[in-house]
Copies of this chain bind each other. A is one copy, B any other.
């Protein structure tokens, strides 16, 4: 009802709909959902507030469309890279390739959308922190399969580690990934300018290196359980 498939396709002229999506993505990703008004988005896109209603009906609908736009391509890219990674023979290299297959699409473009991978991942991080209902629903039904696939693949590379530990560690990976996109300036600040938190390539290398080591850590249960907690008790 909305698109017009006549003649030479579409998406040729400066598309207002796309401008609104891009502006919303950027604003949501940096300020959160509730802090951004429809009017803010319209203004940033050079559009009229009513135009947002026309294209996306509601503010939730706009968020939903942003997710629809990115989830598919990013999942596809991850699946491709995961499939390639699983073909790596050397076990150590394979683990690293799997982690890379998970991380890279989150930092770089998920499709041909202009460099939007990192922006969308940051958006996901913010929505997750805010407990956004729309996001929670679509994320659980879109990404859980992929997450399981990665967890299984990692588990195959590290069969001596219990699956529970793998789940925790991949959860930590996602948290680290999110946080790197949310506050890259903190890295620059704490490193006193020696590192650039906004440098995606650098962040990826650091994250992959650290995460591979984390996955390879000994399992919790069998790691000298009588020796744990050397200094600290849980209450003062």
Q: Which residues does A use to contact B, with CB under 8 Å?
A: 30-35, 77, 81, 84-85, 88, 93, 96-97, 100-101, 104, 108-109, 125-126, 128-131, 140, 144, 147-148, 151, 163-165, 167-180, 182-183, 186-187, 189-191, 194-195, 197, 201, 203-207, 209-218, 220, 223, 228-232, 234-236
Contact = CB atoms under 8 A, between A and B. Distances in A.
B206 A130 contact: no
B230 A96 contact: yes
Contacts of A177: 175
Contact of A213 (B96, B194, B213): B213
Nearest to A84: B231
Contacts of A35: 33-34, 130
If over half of A's interface residues share one DSSP class (helix, strand or loop), that class is named, otherwise mixed; here it is helix
A231 B81 contact: yes
Contacts of A206: 165, 168-169, 172, 220
A148 B189 CA distance: 10
Contacts of A109: 235-236
20 contacts: A32-B33, A32-B129, A32-B130, A34-B35, A81-B232, A84-B232, A97-B231, A100-B229, A100-B231, A100-B232, A128-B129, A129-B130, A130-B130, A168-B191, A171-B176, A171-B179, A175-B175, A176-B179, A211-B214, A214-B214
B182 A129 contact: yes
Contacts of A100: 229, 231-232
Among A88, A101, A187, residue most surrounded by chain B Cβ atoms (within 10 Å): A187
B129 A164 contact: no
Contact of A190 (B144, B176, B190, B232): B144
Given A31-B131, A213-B214, A187 B168 contact: yes
Contact of A230 (B93, B129, B204, B213): B93
